[in-house]
Amino acid sequence: MEKDGLELEITELRLGLPGRDVTEKMMKKRGFTEMIMTSSGSNSEQCESGAVSSGVDVEKVNDTPAAKTQVVGWPPVCSYRRKNSCKEVSTTKVGLGYVKVSMDGVPYLRKMDLGSSQDYDDLAFALDKLFGFHGIGVALKDGDNCEYVTIYEDKDGDWMLGGDVPWGMFIESCKRLRIMKRSDATGFGLQPRGVDE
Amino acid sequence: MNRAIKSRLSTSEMNYFPDEVIEHIFDFIASHRDRNSISLVNKSWHKIERYSRHQVFIGNCYAISPERLIRRFPCLRSLTLKGKPHFADFNLVPHEWGGFLHPWIDALAKGRVGLEELRLKRMVVSDESLELLSRSFVSFKSLVLVSCDGFTTDGLASVAANCRHLRELDLQENEIDDHRGQWLNCFPDTCTTLVSLNFACLKGETNLAALERLVARSPNLKSLKVNRAVPLEALTRLMSCAPQLVDLGVGCYENEPEPESFAKLMAAIKKCTLLRSLSGFSEVAPVCLTAFYPICENLTSLNLSYAAELQGNHLIEFVQFCKRVQRLWILDSIGDKGLEIVASSCKELQELRVFPSDPHDEEDNNTAVTEVGLVAISAGCPKLHSILYFCKQMTNEALITVARNCPNFIRFRLCILEPNKPDPITSQSLDEGFGAIVQACKGLRRLSVSGLLTDKVFLYIGMYAEQLEMLSIAFAGDTDKGMLYVLNGCKKLRKLEIRDSPFGNAALLADVGKYETMRSLWMSSCEVTLGGCKRLARNAPWLNVEIINENESGRMERNEEDEREKVDRLYLYRTVVGTRRDAPPCVTIL
């Protein structure tokens, strides 16, 4: 049985780096350093095109050897748990930092890390916690029924209503947040929403 | 009674009893396996068993169709269904792979089945399905959803509004789109039957007033697990009107509770003398844990695995007083020292799970656990039978000691965070350590291996793990021999899941008949090729052989593919209903 397997291996085309003496055993054992979490999550592409040898940096590895490369789905912690208890750094978050958050009627400015929220629900919850009472967050999802309005200043310096655009777009463009009373918001000069109501 | 008479009391004798009597005898047989066995005895028993079967467990929703289920068991009352394969938990299965609930509800409704209980795991559930469910089964009592997705709080609202006799609504670790509607308000005022309510996984606002009214009118409520939007004062009020609670899941605490609110909370907790199980604590200040000191000695189950904010010393301070705890889920921030304290305090411990607080070691965490903690637990806790342990390192010596201390393991799942990591002291593989485990633990049913492992560990597993039903392998083995040892040796194997290991066609194809005795096989990033899978599918028409691809470029390209192309992900399972028709483009069924 194993012989069949061997024959197949020999006839298979392999794109190894030239001048490398790769033994059979090394070919079969796949090192995890090759497997990099790309944005598409695919790992088989990297394995096919690079040298199949553990411990060697494949040319596609951008990280320094000191940095830990992440393997898809490893360690085997279920995704719900990862989102809710682990100190995870998602590779999709780029250049996020702290934004200033001001709230009408509250004398001090606060700062919060947008990167620690996963979606508008998380942000709403974090805002509630930041100012110590509930109800701010509701403005984000259910804007029309709330005493407060959550607005943010985007990269262009315009003030936009929070909650309209997809989360990814929001976190990339949000420079600061402001929670203001609905009554004060009219006439503030918010950029109109794209959709007619 | 002499032997001659005894030997004649056979099943044929039993057939002289009226069916009702036989049925009554069958009522005492609860286990699915025993039920399956008695249904095979003869036609008469098969028929009686069919009509008296009320509980059915389906481990793979694609192994059978809802229509055939209902035809065979028309008196079904309780159904358990599992959908996606286990590795879907780790993002290895595309979101749209399958496991849809709707066809089941549709068929059950049309078949006028008197469904009362539904338990689902890794299924895709829609609001429409929940609505249909709520309207179709008048006696519906219990809905348990674990790791499901696809629905919103609107679906929950239908269940709340329409299931008049609802006793249990248990949502565990689901991805639910929270529309922040008033689903809790949808429970009618006449609903007073709730025994268990768990909505910890909901992310949005909770209508606190509606929740309090609901709890107040549910005198039978034993289990309540709230989400993070339930603050301290509300929790106090809830506990005050439900002192009969046995199982509590705590939501959110402010960081600095006022002394008065804290005192009120403690007073309410003191009254909950029946409380045995505690969980939640996703946002909590250390001082708040101390509010539970009055009842911690009564606890048999404690889940602090979501309490990422708690430091190790606070965890230790609390856990050491939980002397009766049998089930403990905790984060590795407890450290080896903490586990040593657990070992000396918690002598009733049966199940321990230690999760990683920092899975990718981003903070260069030095408080993660090692073999020291595991050895301590094994030495101090004689009743331990189940363990899930995420650790930085493990040694053969430690595993051999653990095997000697705890021969009663049923479940042994070890995850060394760094793949391929050898014994740090000897630099050898961990074959001998795991070998000792399978040799000593004769009742072992579930095993997960990790660290540096050669084919030898699988030789040991095949030789000794006679009761093994589920095996998880990652980054292990050298040749096809490894997988063959397991397939040939483990007679009771039901589920085998393998990732990133050098097993190929030779192992896959050696004994095709073996897969008929198993529920499923998963292989990802291994050496099996398309050609090998095609050959398997040809020789085993009773299997669904699914190839899952990353790119969704559709099936058109498949025919031109080189048969020597390695397969990303292979999932195969036995089925009596052939190829499923709901597979998405990224899945090819051979």
Q: Could you read off the pLDDT of B190-219 as tens digits, one per residue? A: 999 999 999 999 988 889 999 999 999 999
Structure tokens at B172: 């565990």
CB count in 10 Å sphere of residue B18: 9
Structure tokens at B182: 């008033």
Measured CA distances, A75 to B9, B301, B417, B451 (Å): 56, 25, 6, 12
Q: Helix B153-162 and helix B127-136: axis angle, to 10°?
A: 0
> To the nearest whole angstrom, how far is the Cα of B406 from the nearest Cα of chain A?
25
**Residue from B521, B388, B406 nearest B450 by CA:** B388
93-112 in A: which are within 8 Å (CB) of B? Answer: none
Counting residues of chain A whose pLDDT is more than 90, the rounded percentage is 3
**Residue from B476, B471, B590, B503 nearest B539 by CA:** B590
CA A99 to chain centre: 17
**Residue from A90, A178, A167, A80 nearest A130 by CA:** A178
Structure tokens at B32: 């699915």
In this predicted structure, what is the pLDDT of residue A71? Answer: 81
* Alpha helix ranges (H) inside A66-180: 79-85, 120-131, 138-141, 167-173
Tell me, yes or no, if A47 comes closer than 8 A to chain B by beta carbon.
yes
CA A146 to chain centre: 29
* Alpha helix ranges (H) inside A66-119: 79-85
Q: Mean per-residue pLDDT for B494-506?
A: 97
Tell me, yes or no, if A66 comes closer than 8 A to chain B by beta carbon.
no
At B430, the pLDDT band (50, 70, 90 cuts) reads very high
- ipTM of the complex in this document: 0.87
Q: Give the position of tokens 């996703």.
A: B282
Tell me, yes or no, if A78 comes closer than 8 A to chain B by beta carbon.
yes
Is residue A195's pLDDT more than 70?
no
**Residue from B179, B180, B177, B217 nearest B197 by CA:** B217
Q: Say how far apart CA B164 and CA B133 lie, in whole Å.
A: 12
Is residue B333's pLDDT more than 50?
yes
> To the nearest whole angstrom, how far is the Cα of A9 from the nearest Cα of chain B?
9
Within chain B, what is the greatest distance between any pair of CA atoms? 80
Q: Which of A43, A70, A125 sits opposite B203 (nearest CB)?
A: A125
Is residue A62's pLDDT more than 50?
no
| CB < 8 Å to B504, chain A | 5
Tell me, yes or no, if A14 comes closer than 8 A to chain B by beta carbon.
no
Is residue B353's pLDDT more than 70?
yes
Amino acid identity at A118: Q
In this predicted structure, what is the pLDDT of residue A143? Answer: 58
Q: Do B173 and A8 touch (CB under 8 A)?
A: no
Is residue B367's pLDDT more than 90?
no
Residue pair B175/B169 in contact (Cβ under 8 Å)? The answer is no
Q: Say how far apart CA B319 and CA A81 lie, in whole Å.
A: 21
Is residue A33's pLDDT more than 80?
no
For A125-139, A173-187, B40-54, B476-490, which range has the lowest pLDDT when averaged over its residues?
A: A125-139
Q: Say how far apart CA B231 and CA B228 lie, in whole Å.
A: 7
**Residue from B256, B224, B254 nearest B240 by CA:** B224
Is residue B429's pLDDT more than 80?
yes
In this predicted structure, what is the pLDDT of residue B33? Answer: 87
In this predicted structure, what is the pLDDT of residue B10? Answer: 57
Amino acid identity at B4: A
Angle (nearest 5°) at CA B55 between B51 and B59: 120
CA B417 to chain centre: 21
Is residue A25's pLDDT more than 70?
no
In this predicted structure, what is the pLDDT of residue A55? Answer: 37
How many H helices and E strands in chain A?
A: 8, 5
CA distance between the termini of chain B: 59
For A24-28, B66-70, B206-210, which range has the lowest pLDDT when averaged over its residues?
A: A24-28
Looking at residue A15, the DSSP 8-state letter turns out to be -
| CB < 8 Å to A47, chain B | 525
In this predicted structure, what is the pLDDT of residue A88? Answer: 45
Beta strands in B149-267 (DSSP E): 149-152, 168-172, 175-177, 196-198, 223-225, 247-252
**Residue from B534, B251, B63, B48 nearest A125 by CA:** B251
| CB < 8 Å to B173, chain A | 78, 80-81
> What is the interface size between A and B, counted as CB pairs within 8 Å?
150
Tell me, yes or no, if A79 comes closer than 8 A to chain B by beta carbon.
yes
| Rg (chain A; Cα; Å) | 25
In this predicted structure, what is the pLDDT of residue A129? Answer: 76
> To the nearest whole angstrom, how far is the Cα of B276 from the nearest Cα of chain A?
23
Is residue B357's pLDDT more than 80?
yes
Within chain A, what is the greatest distance between any pair of CA atoms? 80
Amino acid identity at B492: K
At A181, the pLDDT band (50, 70, 90 cuts) reads confident
Q: Is B225 helix (H, G, I), strand (E, B) or coil?
A: strand
Beta strands in B417-527 (DSSP E): 446-448, 470-474, 495-499, 520-524
Q: Which of B252, B478, B564 sits opposite A8 (nearest CB)?
A: B564
| CB < 8 Å to B254, chain A | 132
Q: Which of A2, A88, A138 sits opposite B205 (nearest CB)?
A: A138
Torsion region of B201: left, alpha or beta (phi above 0 gives left; psi -120 to 50 gives alpha) = alpha
β-pairing verdict for B543-548 and B587-589: antiparallel
Q: Say how far apart CA B244 and CA B303 lie, in whole Å.
A: 20
Residue of A9, A24, A28, A36 best to disrupt the B interface, most CBs of B under 10 A: A28
| CB < 8 Å to B484, chain A | 1
In this predicted structure, what is the pLDDT of residue B300? Answer: 98
Q: Do B357 and A86 touch (CB under 8 A)?
A: yes
Residue pair B462/B434 in contact (Cβ under 8 Å)? The answer is no
**Residue from B304, B285, B308 nearest B296 by CA:** B304
Counting residues of chain B whose pLDDT is more than 70, the rounded percentage is 93
In this predicted structure, what is the pLDDT of residue B458? Answer: 98
Angle (nearest 5°) at CA B348 between B342 and B354: 45
Is residue A16's pLDDT more than 60?
no
Torsion region of B89: left, alpha or beta (phi above 0 gives left; psi -120 to 50 gives alpha) = alpha
In this predicted structure, what is the pLDDT of residue A171? Answer: 82
In this predicted structure, what is the pLDDT of residue B269? Answer: 94
Q: Could you read off the pLDDT of B456-495 as tens digits, one per residue? A: 999 999 999 999 999 999 999 999 999 999 999 999 999 9
Structure tokens at A56: 């060697």
Q: Do B331 and A85 touch (CB under 8 A)?
A: yes
Q: Could you read off the pLDDT of A81-110 as tens digits, one per residue? A: 988 876 543 333 334 567 878 887 776 677
Q: Do A78 and B229 touch (CB under 8 A)?
A: no
More confident residue, B550 or A40: B550
For B382-386, B474-478, B563-567, which range has the lowest pLDDT when averaged over its residues?
A: B563-567
More confident residue, B21 or A47: B21
As a three-state string, the secondary structure of B351-384 is EEEEECCCCCCCCCCCCCCCHHHHHHHHHHCCCC
Kindly report the average pLDDT of chain A as a whole number.
Answer: 62
For B25-29, B126-130, B284-288, B386-390, which range has the lowest pLDDT when averaged over its residues?
A: B284-288
In this predicted structure, what is the pLDDT of residue A93? Answer: 37
In this predicted structure, what is the pLDDT of residue B416? Answer: 96
CA B583 to chain centre: 24
β-pairing verdict for A176-181 and A148-153: antiparallel
Residue pair B503/B526 in contact (Cβ under 8 Å)? The answer is yes
CB count in 10 Å sphere of residue B526: 26
Torsion region of B569: left, alpha or beta (phi above 0 gives left; psi -120 to 50 gives alpha) = beta
Is residue A182's pLDDT more than 70?
yes
Q: Which residues of B359-394 are buried (b: 16+ CB within 10 A; e: fewer)?
A: bbeeeebebbbbbbbbbbbbbbbeebbbbbbbbbbb
In this predicted structure, what is the pLDDT of residue A42? Answer: 39
Structure tokens at A108: 């001090």
Counting residues of chain A whose pLDDT is more than 70, the rounded percentage is 44
Q: Say how far apart CA A103 and CA B292 lie, in whole Å.
A: 35
Q: Do A44 and B550 touch (CB under 8 A)?
A: yes
Q: Say how far apart CA B381 and CA B229 lie, in whole Å.
A: 37
Q: Say how far apart CA B110 and CA A97 lie, in whole Å.
A: 54
Residue of B261, B417, B475 best to disrupt the A interface, most CBs of A under 10 A: B475
In this predicted structure, what is the pLDDT of residue B256? Answer: 64
Q: Say how far apart CA A8 and CA A12 lie, in whole Å.
A: 6
Residue of B525, B535, B564, B569 best to disrupt the A interface, most CBs of A under 10 A: B525
Residue of A7, A52, A74 best to disrupt the B interface, most CBs of B under 10 A: A74
Is residue B157's pLDDT more than 70?
yes
Residue pair B249/B198 in contact (Cβ under 8 Å)? The answer is yes
